[in-house]
Structure 1
Amino acid sequence: MALRNWSSFIKPWHPQVSGSQPEFTLRAVLIGLAIGCLICFTNLSLGLQSGWISMMSIQSALIGFLISRTLPAPLTPQEIIVVQTTAVATGTMPLAAGFVGILPALTLLSVERDGSPPIHLSWLAAVGWSCSVAFFGVFLSPPIRKQVIIEEQLPFPSGTATAHLISVLHRLPPPDTSLRHRTGYRPVEDEEDDVVAPDILAGIPVVEEDEEDTTERDVVEHEGWYDLVWSFAVSGSLTLAAYFYPVLFALPLFGNYLAKEWLWYFTPSLSYVGQGVIMGFPTTLSMNFGMFVGWALLSPLSKWSGWAPGPVGDMSTGARGWILWISLGIMCADSLISLLPVVLEYISDAVRPWRRGHSNVEESDIQKHHETETEDRLVPTDWVIKGLLLSISIGTFLVWIVFGNQGIKPWATFIGFVLGGMLSIIGVRALGETDLNPVSGLGKISQLFFAWIQPGNIVANIIAGGVAEAGAQQAGDLMQDLKTGHLCHASPRAQFYGQLIGSSVSILVTTTAYILYNRAYTIPGPSFPAPTAYVWLSLARLLRDGQLPEHSAVFMGVFSIVFGLLSGAKTYSAKRGHWIAKWIPSGVAFAIGFLNTPSFSIARLIGGVTEYIYRTRFAKDGGDIRLIVIASGFVLGEGVVSIVALVLRTLGVGVASCFGCGHGLCGGCPAIS
């Protein structure tokens, strides 16, 4: 009976009836958009608070699976991948369009120092800016997919992990990551019902499961909704309580003096804890190591030595602004060193044909080709060419309309897109090999280049960096999804559709949410400090003026050298599969610990420790997947309820009590915000 119910639903999407993208269904897209909007709200809030967002592809697949279990006909594995792809494209727009860094940085401009007044975009102007950068990375994805997934077969660890999870949840055998014996999508008719059965639709025969996979699936299917709902509710309730009693998210655990003078307080945000679970123990450990060095050692040193005489939290004259430069040096060194092997390998691949001769090239190309999809399931080349030309042309025009000639010249924007395309290839290759997309470093490379071709123009420098970062970040995130789709036999064209739809909808969702936040809060401000905005603006000013705060250059150089060496060791160890690679401190995570106050890092460490204990002690019982579900509920709960808090603040509903806010760090109290 179950099979016949499936048959009645699947038959309209049989490739012989309705095309070769049976997974591209209305329900998959709508579920993906719903999940993506929740992730978008969450990423915008967390990005403005800490500068860190989460792609949440695994979480999207998990939530899509849970929703699927409530439908009369559950989603196929390929539909889940469309859900995931659409959700990721929708949820990552806050970073791709610069809402957590670029746009707040433009509001910090001053006529006296930068020659330009602060730029506050209207809703329509922000939509125009988002449209200019929202689709470039999407159209870059198909040709890059062919190179890094089909030809080079890069692992893309997160994308591969998601494919394994989807296989477990749908009782399928693990994906064949060797790619040597895969035969791609093959519609096979079921003898009894004359339709495509769901398991055959995956292009993979059903095999016996082992006990561990069965346990994991049962845990998610039977307890997943319960875990997601209670974790969402608890996190949301705590967030709402913190709105009315702001001290709940600014607890002076180390005393009022350290909280007020040195910003050492604790934010018991379950969303931060959930993010720590998702990041994993090694990353959160690196972040807290950076937090300790930055806020317990360097911050007091700069203050007591007179190098940063202002209030500790001041980004211009205080210790926070002083250690920002060291953070910037670490991020650039880590990103650039980690990219060197990728660049060298790319150059080696480019010159190899000239060494071997054309006959060997042809033979090598034949041996390397591992495409498993038919042409009608791939994105046509002419779509890619036309899409890139249109996205660059329209994007250049829209940037000119939004910012005018005083902002950035059209020819410079065009160069920014070209540079963004080249940097995207490097970033995607780095992501495919190391699971880290160094978009921050790539954006800084673009800023450095534009300091040369448009010297002295702060606005142009920031915008050009944003264009390059948008392409690299979006192409990288979407490539993880395409890797998952490749391993699970989903149509690349169906994923491409999902990416376009998700990006289009997210333009309106992200812009509207950002404008509402701007009206209700000061950004950057106590509630939403937007730390990466200061990174963008500070580097642009440095490239123009060449002036660093007193003695910061020495520390910047030393830390850059140290983390350049550590990055090289980490990259070398990772390429050889050595276990020590994950325990070598991540430069980017270490630097994020500098950018944010200690409260952001401590809560994430709690999540990282929880993840480590679960993974090492309870993973065999399905605890790892269950923990991901709970962490997703924590993150989404705060993200969604923060929109409720935003509405309350817009309507003039104030806090219930400012009790305990004597340290002056409660962002919701009228006297503070």
Structure 2
Amino acid sequence: MIYEVSKVTAARSSSSTMMEKRNSQMNNVTSACIAYTGGFGSYLFGMSEVVAKQSSENNYEENTKNPSLTWLIGFLFVVSFLGLFSVVPLRKIMIVDFKLIYPSGTATAHLINSFHTPQGAKLAKRQVRTLGKFFTFSFLWGLFQWFFTAGDGCGFSSFPSLGLEAYEHKFYFDFSATYVGVGMICPYLINVSLLVGAVISWGLMWPLINLREGDWYPKGLGSSSLHGIQGYRVFIGIAMILGDGLYNFFKVLGHTCFGLYRQVRHRKSQSQLPVSRNSSPEIPQISYDDQRRTHLFLKDQIPMWIAIIGYLVIAAVSIVVLPHIFHQLKWYHITVIYALAPTLAFCNAYGCGLTDWSLASTYGKLAIFIVGAWAGGENGGVLAGLAACGVMMNIVSTASDLMQDFKTGYMTLASPRSMFVSQVIGTAMGCVISPCVFWLFYQAFNDLGQPGSEYPAPYALIYRNMAVLGVEGFAALPRHCLALCYGFFGLAIVINGMRDAVGKEKAKFIPIPMAMAIPFYIGGYFAIDMCVGSLILFVWSKVNKAKAAAFGPAVASGLICGDGIWTLPSSILALAGVKPPICMKFLSRGDNVRVDQILKSS
């Protein structure tokens, strides 16, 4: 450990550019986080008319707000900075006094430290070359696929690789480099859980419920009506997500309360802080490493008055601005949220330090139900709930992310003040870049958010229907859907309880309910892609475990980035009116005969 700190200290003193690169990396990470907390695939896009038409509402005009680049940027600017200021005064307590682990931040720090050795630098260069090779391959593969997508249902993404019957039930491999790469990064259990959920839902439940058409729900509604089969797909998935989220919420809350109790009791039993240099034998001595880290971490203080004034000023601006963006969200709704937000941000940051689990989305869902019911259906409660979800998610998520990064800075001897400034700059960048990228997609793809499209945005509909459920109650559900929701809500809690009861070794054989719920609405095709990614990594690990561990993340990142970057030129081509020249579509033998007969007769 002393060697590790000395190594980082030497690197820090020998090159100021290393700190600049680290701060630039912080900017990039913080900017990218806005893409998640911004809700472009969930609560914000759930406000749009595209998603509202798929919902179960009758009169949705009062509860819709179509995306606009102006209000998207304005909304993110007034809600994304509060979380940063809410936990800044607690950084010493969380990291130095309580010594919270923050596993992701610690792992990132060890990775950064390892790069500043001759062996680490050499490995990093090889990893970058590998990433570049697969980035190029993924980009060119996306370009190749584009030529065959001239119409709906065309291209390799609609290849019925497991048969036409399986394709109708959303079971096929769609040749997505992104999902294969994600599957290589995600743990095996996540990918298997997704596949289990797909088999339970699309393999068993939906075919059986389809047989009850005309009894449980009216005939002829189609597959997109929430009063028909789609209602079961969406709301049962929501029930599992809520069951998993609430279980983990109370689990982390219990860890938080118990941890705080132990910290308070420990302090009462000692007259000195844990970081004291007192030589009393009752107080454990801290190592040279921790002394060095603590000294540098506390050297650049961020004055508390800056945090308090910053929070109050931004809160005051938000209370004035947000009701102009969403007139359904009143000033007193926002005031109550901001009064509770610091406490909830502390709970999320503390719980994340103990368990590495951020419950930002769960806090957001609670805000949906509370504010939506408070506003009422006649007063735009659906839109108010979704907007409140965004406010709450941004506050608690940025708070836990900041603490994770402070932990990384503590371990790598980075200046906390410069890290905070980097967070602010990165957040400002994200508030502009993320909406612009989303706006490019929104303008380029006319079917964005539609079921069966290339970008179906399933969570947008899920979040909107949560808001509808909170405002209108259970009247919107089709027959027996509520009973099934209760069952799967309880099943999620039972499965989580079993996972905690059997221990970590045996829990890896029990699927995760949150992952199981995702295919209930989307289908199993992406789960198959991700399982292919897991299979590739598994076989690679059997052949050469060390090489797979070193280069597997680089290969996965290259696949994801190349496919993701290709969407930008494809969006530009779509905006310019350039269409692919070929439609590659797959038909059954009977359909092919009928098509040939039509072509011959024409």
TM interval, short-chain normalised: 0.7 to 0.9
Q: Residues 96 and 473 of structure 1 are in contact (CA less than 8 Å); yes or no, is this contact kept in structure 2?
A: yes
SS in 2 for 1:154: coil
Alpha-carbon distance change, 340 to 556 in structure 1, aligned in 2, over 3 angstroms: same
1:86 to 2, 10, 27: 27
Map of 1:254 onto structure 2: 162
Between the aligned partners of 1:355 and 1:153, the Cα distance in structure 2 is: 15
Instruction: Give TM-score scaled by structure 1 length.
Output: 0.74
Partner of 1:444: 365
Q: Which amino acid is the alignment partner of residue 251 of structure 1?
A: F
The answer to whether residue 455 in structure 2 is matched with residue 528 in structure 1 is yes
Aligned partners of 2:171 and 2:528 also within 8 Å: no
Matches within 5 A, 1:3-402: 75-76=17-18, 78-107=19-48, 108-109=51-52, 112-114=58-60, 116=62, 118-171=64-117, 214=119, 218-221=122-125, 223-246=126-149, 247-259=155-167, 261-306=168-213, 307=216, 313-314=223-224, 316-348=226-258, 371-402=294-325
Structure-1 residue corresponding to 2:564: 639
Gaps of 5+ in 1: 1-9, 16-21, 24-74, 173-213, 664-673
Name the % identity.
24
Task: Report if the CA contact (8 A) 1:85-1:498 is conserved.
Answer: yes
Determine helix, strand or coil for the equivalent of 1:484: helix
Instruction: State how 1:441-480 maps to structure 2 within 5 Å.
Output: 441-456=362-377, 457-480=381-404
Show the counterpart of 2:345: 424
Deviation at 1:335, TM superposition (A): 1.8
Residue 549 of structure 1 aligns to which amino acid in structure 2? P
1:205 match:
none
Shift of 1:319: 3.2
The 3-state SS of whatever aligns with 1:391 is helix
User: Residue 346 of structure 2 aligns to which amino acid in structure 1?
Assistant: I
Please report how far the alpha carbon of residue 265 of structure 1 lies from its aligned counterpart in structure 2 after TM superposition. 3.2
How far does residue 105 in structure 1 lie from its aligned partner after superposition? 0.7
Larger mean CA deviation between 629-638 and 82-91 belongs to: 82-91
Amino acid aligned to 1:644: P
Whole-angstrom CA distance in 1 between matches of 2:268 and 2:99:
23
The residue that corresponds to 1:605 in the other structure is 531
**Does the aligned pair in 2 maintain the 1:338–1:430 contact within 8 Å?**
no
Q: 1:152 to 1:356 in 2, by over 3 A?
A: closer
The Cα shift of 1:593 comes to: 2.6
Once residues 225 and 365 of structure 2 are traced to their aligned partners in structure 1, the CA distance between those partners, rounded to angstroms, is: 19
SS in 2 for 1:92: helix
The CA deviation string for residues 303-326 of structure 1, in whole angstroms up to 9 with x for no partner, is 222246567752524534412212
CA distance in 2, matches of 1:416, 1:313: 38
Aligned residues: 545
Q: Which residue of 1 aligns with 2:4?
A: none
Query: Alignment RMSD, CA only?
Result: 3.1
| Alpha-carbon distance, 1:228 to partner | 1.5
C-alpha distance in 1, partners of 2:342/2:508?
29
Distance 1:315 1:112 in 2: 12
More displaced stretch, 229-238 vs 512-521? 512-521
Q: What code does the residue aligned with 1:294 have? A: S
Q: Pick closer, same or farther for the CA change 1:115–1:659 going to 2, 3 Å.
A: closer
The residue aligned with 2:491 is 562
Alignment check: 8 A CA contact 2:146 2:580 kept: yes
* Aligned match of 2:442: 518
Instruction: Report if aligned partners of 2:63, 2:382 keep a CA contact under 8 Å in 1.
Output: no
| CA distance, structure 2, for counterparts of residue 395 and residue 615 of structure 1 | 51
Which AA in structure 1 matches 2:564? G
Q: CA deviation at 1:120?
A: 1.1
Contact 1:96 1:133 in 2 (8 A): no
Q: Work out the CA distance in 2 between the residues paired with 1:585 and 1:417.
A: 37
| C-alpha separation in 2, matches of 1:395 and 1:318 | 40
1:408 shift after superposition: 0.6
TM-score, normalised by the number of residues in structure 2: 0.82
Give deviations 1:164-191, integer Å, cap 9, x for gaps: 222222229xxxxxxxxxxxxxxxxxxx
Distance 2:489 2:91 in 1: 33
The one-character-per-residue Cα deviations of 1:465-512 (angstroms, maximum 9, x if unpaired) are 121122222223333332222222222222211111111112221111
1:348-376 CA-to-partner distances (Å, cap 9, x unmatched) read: 45567887996757667967997443544
The structure with higher relative contact order (CA 8 Å, sep 6+) is 2
State the distance in 2 between where 1:429 and 1:590 align: 27
Pairing 1:618–2:539 present: no
